[in-house]
């Protein structure tokens, strides 16, 4: 008898719980109708034909990951330079002591390793620490690098004085053509900046800058950054 009363009580509790749960569910607001759904503005509604980063083939994606992306944030893809004419790289380009080549050193080295180097050298780097990385990847001599980074280089101590501290806005890119010619490879790329800041998928940008990064093949099959030729920046056109 006791077992039966216990079972009846348990069943009653379960029925009360289910009744409360159903009532709570019925109090939820109905799902929005299509007219009430939040709308994402289209490019046409904004009056601007915003840029979207194009898809890449496997070959293009490989060259982008190994070479273009390593220079993407440094600034070395927005100015013309070569071993014959590197005047655009000399001295300060961005703010106090900012320089495209020293930024490239940071990006190639990587964030975690740079943290260790800053901790070890406290902003005073032996010349070899920086030059060994850059000379292996760019066509410049040590003398040319010291000219490019003259505002950071101390000839008396053979050191570079650099404490980091850089900013920048969103930037993306893509390789759109790969043209191999003997020991050289010309990568046609497009950079995208001026992030629209709108909730549009995929990310959209206000400016596009085309260019060509030339690589020279090393004996081991890797490539050296050889030169950059840039095109004019293109602003997202208005929609007629």
Q: Which residue has the higher pLDDT, 228 or 21?
A: 228
Mean pLDDT of the chain: 83
When pLDDT is averaged across residues 136-148 and rounded to a whole number, the result is 96
End-to-end CA distance of the chain: 84
When pLDDT is averaged across residues 201-220 and rounded to a whole number, the result is 94
Per DSSP, what are the bridge partners of residue 19? none
| Percentage above 70 pLDDT, the chain | 77
When pLDDT is averaged across residues 125-129 and rounded to a whole number, the result is 98
Task: Report the alpha-carbon distance of residue 57 to residue 188 in Å, rounded.
Answer: 13
pLDDT tier for residue 84 given thresholds of 50, 70 and 90: very high
When pLDDT is averaged across residues 115-140 and rounded to a whole number, the result is 96
Give me the pLDDT at residue 43, please.
61
Lookup: tokens for 60: 């293009």
When pLDDT is averaged across residues 60-77 and rounded to a whole number, the result is 95
Whether 177 has a pLDDT exceeding 50, the answer reads: yes
Lookup: tokens for 143: 């003398």
Question: 1-5, 106-110, 129-133, 203-207: lowest mean pLDDT where?
Answer: 1-5
Whether 24 has a pLDDT exceeding 60, the answer reads: no
Give me the pLDDT at residue 230, please.
97
| Percentage above 90 pLDDT, the chain | 66
When pLDDT is averaged across residues 161-171 and rounded to a whole number, the result is 82
pLDDT tier for residue 224 given thresholds of 50, 70 and 90: very high
Give the pTM: 0.79
Task: Report the alpha-carbon distance of residue 152 to residue 161 in Å, rounded.
Answer: 5
pLDDT tier for residue 14 given thresholds of 50, 70 and 90: very low
Give me the pLDDT at residue 35, please.
47
Domains and CATH numbers, the chain: 74-161 (no CATH), 168-235 (3.10.450)
Give me the pLDDT at residue 89, please.
94
> Which long-range contacts does 43-48 make (Cβ < 8 Å, 24+ apart)?
43/200, 43/204, 43/239, 44/239, 46/198, 47/238, 47/239, 48/206, 48/236, 48/237, 48/238, 48/239
Whether 206 has a pLDDT exceeding 90, the answer reads: yes
When pLDDT is averaged across residues 74-95 and rounded to a whole number, the result is 89
When pLDDT is averaged across residues 214-220 and rounded to a whole number, the result is 94
């Amino acid at each position: 008898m006791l077992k039966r009363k216990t079972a009846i009580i348990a069943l009653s509790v379960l029925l009360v719980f289910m009744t409360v749960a159903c009532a709570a569910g019925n109090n939820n607001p109905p799902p929005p109708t299509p007219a009430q759904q939040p709308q994402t503005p289209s490019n046409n509604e904004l009056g601007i034909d915003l840029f979207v980063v194009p898809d890449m083939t496997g070959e293009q994606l490989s060259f982008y990951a190994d070479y273009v992306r390593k220079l993407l944030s440094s600034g070395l893809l927005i100015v013309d330079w070569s071993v014959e004419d590197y005047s655009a790289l000399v001295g300060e380009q961005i703010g106090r002591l900012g320089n495209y080549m020293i930024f490239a050193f940071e990006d190639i080295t990587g964030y975690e390793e740079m943290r260790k180097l800053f901790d070890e050298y406290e902003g005073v780097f032996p010349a070899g620490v920086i030059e060994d990385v850059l000379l292996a990847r760019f066509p410049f001599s040590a003398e040319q690098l010291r000219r490019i980074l003259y505002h950071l280089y101390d000839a008396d101590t053979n050191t570079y004085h650099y404490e980091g501290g850089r900013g920048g806005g969103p930037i993306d890119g893509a390789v759109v053509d790969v043209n191999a010619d003997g020991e050289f490879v010309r990568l046609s790329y497009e950079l995208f900046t001026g992030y629209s800041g709108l909730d549009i998928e995929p990310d959209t940008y206000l400016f596009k800058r085309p260019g060509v990064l030339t690589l020279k093949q090393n004996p081991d099959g890797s490539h050296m950054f050889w030169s950059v030729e840039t095109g004019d920046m293109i602003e997202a056109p208005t929609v007629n």
